[in-house]
Amino acid sequence: MSKKNKKQNKNKKVPFVSEQINEKTIPFFDRISKQINLPKREKKAMLEDFDKALIMLNASGVSFEEAMHRLDVVNLGGFYSRPATTWFPIDNAAKIYPVSMSSDNMALFRLSVYLKEDVIPEILQMALTFTIKRFPTFATSVKKGIFWHYLETTKRRYVALPDTGVPCHHIKVGASGSQTFRLMCYKNRISVELFHILSDGTGGMAFLKTIVAEYFRILGTPCESTNGVLPVNGIVSAGELTNEFPNVPTEGKPAGFMDKTAMQFGGKLSKVRPCQVLHFKLDAAKLKKVAKSRNATVTAYLLSRMFAAGRNACDEISGEFSVMVPVNMRKYYPSETLRNFSMYCGIREPLTDIKNADDLIPDITAQLEKKASKESMTKMVASTNNMIKLLRFIPLFLMAPVAKRVYGVLGEKIFSTTLSNLGVVKFPAEIEDKIESLDFVLGTVSTNRLACSSVTFGNTCTFSVSKNTADSSFEDCFYELLCADGLDPVVEGSVLIED
């Protein structure tokens, strides 16, 4: 070993262990050091991450040899040693997000997994360090081109942080090399918050699942790359990075964006958005049974309760409520892409018709069938593609102010709220029993008072509400409706951040 390396490694002794063990770790740190070509401060921090993880594993009874094997340099895969030269155009659905964002309004979503034991932050940091290379579009910063924004690969130490208690709060993406996502942990929960520019729920879930699988591998429970977990050291396939929108065949007349302005739920808009997040934890089997007894899907059943609860949270007499329901395009056009590949439809109900939640179900079901059909979604994709084609030669500085206003009208005001249902999520069998539940939270937009989302893992369906108002009318009524159907949800959440 060169003198220089010896000197470098002098500072990388693992504290509290014998000199003999430290001697063994020197070649380990030497190899890692050679694989990290980052600025000094970041390199030092990364070496410290390895250091802490080694100590942590050893403290849990793993020998240093085994710990070094689990944290082997091969898992870095050259990601931190090669210069960043790649970039990715933003997919068609996400092009609007950087244009319409402001200092405190950003399209975000959050996915969390609750483990049966408390999360070890040092191991989670290593899991992220090893996983990020497998998701090249996530290892990026947002940049401005002349005509469109783009994602530029950023080689840096991606950080796992402690949870701040303000879910889906604005991510600062402005500084050079900033992260466009946040990985956090709190007690037994691992959460990832993603700027929607990177991916949709499906891609985000693949990212979270892979981090969780890597976390458990480091802790000594490796698992197969199944059920959406990607092999962290595997080769990235081109299909995972594809913008699938241009590949959707254009059939029929483009349509789908324009609609009437919807009524908004009541309540004063809060300054901090979202000001509270609530999770209704439901028995999934019971929920399915209740929905089936009403000849409805779970989504249609939840929508009917949302309309009824929304009616309770609004003083208006006339007008329409409209709930945006994102539709995963992968079910119509199978794709392995991890980028955005979703569209949406609006389920509308006049306020005057909202009297009994069950009475709404047939109409909601009919609307879902029609508006979320392959044909309708394909037309909407065609509209999106046409719009992108139309705007592509307009410089950003001209387009951005107009797009921001148009998005306010077409993207926010035509909806009262959102319901995004990720469906049933599965993990590989080896780690499934170590996971308690999941949740999925949508960031809020500036006009709507709340956004709803749901995800099911095992026998727990978590329905989440992210709120933009302190008014609790919606969730109180929603809770009562669920209780009336015998679902008796357990309600968890964050404290209300008051203005």
Note the residues at the interface with another protein (CB under 8 A).
39, 84-85, 87, 89, 98, 101-104, 141-150, 152, 154, 162-167, 169, 173-177, 186-187, 189, 243, 271-273, 277-279, 392-393, 475-476, 479, 490-495, 497
- Give the list of residues 6+ apart from residue 205 with CB closer than 8 angstroms, or none: 111, 228, 422, 425
The least CB distance from residue 191 to another protein, in Å, is 10
Q: How far is the CB of 259 from another protein (least distance, A)?
A: 27
User: Least separation, in Å, of the C-beta of 102 and another protein?
Assistant: 6
Residue 62 C-beta: closest distance to another protein, Å: 29
Least spacing, CB of residue 313 vs another protein, in Å: 14
- Nearer to another protein (CB atom), residue 273 or residue 371: 273
Residue number with CB closer to another protein (350 or 401): 401
Give the nearer residue to another protein in terms of CB position, either 134 or 156. 156
Q: Which is nearer to another protein, 48 or 436 (CB)?
A: 436
Q: Measured from the CB atom, is 90 or 206 closer to another protein?
A: 90
Edge-to-edge, what's the strand order for the sheet holding 140-144?
87-89, 149-153, 140-144
Q: How far is the CB of 326 from another protein (least distance, A)?
A: 24
Rounded least distance, CB 163 to another protein, Å: 6
Q: What gap in Å lies between CA 168 and CA 109, rounded to an integer?
A: 6
How crowded is the C-beta side of 364, counted as CA atoms within 13 Å? 31
How buried is residue 154: exposed, middle or buried, by Cβ count under 10 Å (0-12/13-18/19+)?
Answer: middle
Looking at the DSSP bridge assignments, the partners of residue 437 are 114
Nearer to another protein, 133 or 279 (CB): 279
In the bound complex, what is the minimum distance in angstroms from residue 269's beta carbon to another protein? 10
Which is closer to another protein, CB of 169 or CB of 371? 169
Nearer to another protein, 255 or 398 (CB): 398
Give Cβ neighbours of residue 238 (< 8 Å, ≥ 6 apart).
Answer: none
Instruction: Say if CB 181 and CB 170 are below 8 A apart.
Output: no
3-state secondary structure of 219: coil
Cα 398 to Cα 81, 148, 276, 347, 444, distances in angstroms: 39, 11, 36, 33, 26
User: Which CB atom, from 162 or from 231, has the smaller least distance to another protein?
Assistant: 162
Tokens of 189: 């929960």
Least distance in angstroms from the C-beta of 101 to another protein: 6
Q: Which is nearer to another protein, 26 or 173 (CB)?
A: 173
Distance of CA 304 to the CA centre of its chain: 25
How would you write 452-487 as a 3-class SS string? EEEEEECCEEEEEEEECECCCHHHHHHHHHHHHCCC
| Coil vs helix vs strand at 451 | strand
Q: In whole angstroms, how close is the CB of 249 to another protein at the nearest point?
A: 19
In the complex, least distance from residue 277 CB atom to another protein, rounded to whole angstroms: 7
Take residue 332 and report the two structure tokens written for it.
Answer: 């119509």
Q: At what angle do helices 473-484 and 298-312 cross, to 10 degrees?
A: 130
Cβ neighbours, 10 Å, residue 120: 21
Tell me whether residue 37 or residue 226 sits nearer to another protein (CB atom).
37
Q: What is the smallest separation between the CB atom of 201 and another protein, expressed in angstroms?
A: 21
Please tell me whether the peptide bond between 401 and the residue prior to it is cis, using omega within 30 degrees of 0: no
**What is the DSSP code string of 120-138?**
-HHHHHHHHHHHGGG-TTT
Distance CA 297, CA 280 (A): 18
List residues bridging with 109 in a β-sheet.
Answer: 194, 442
Q: Which residue, 71 or 277, is less far from another protein as judged by CB?
A: 277
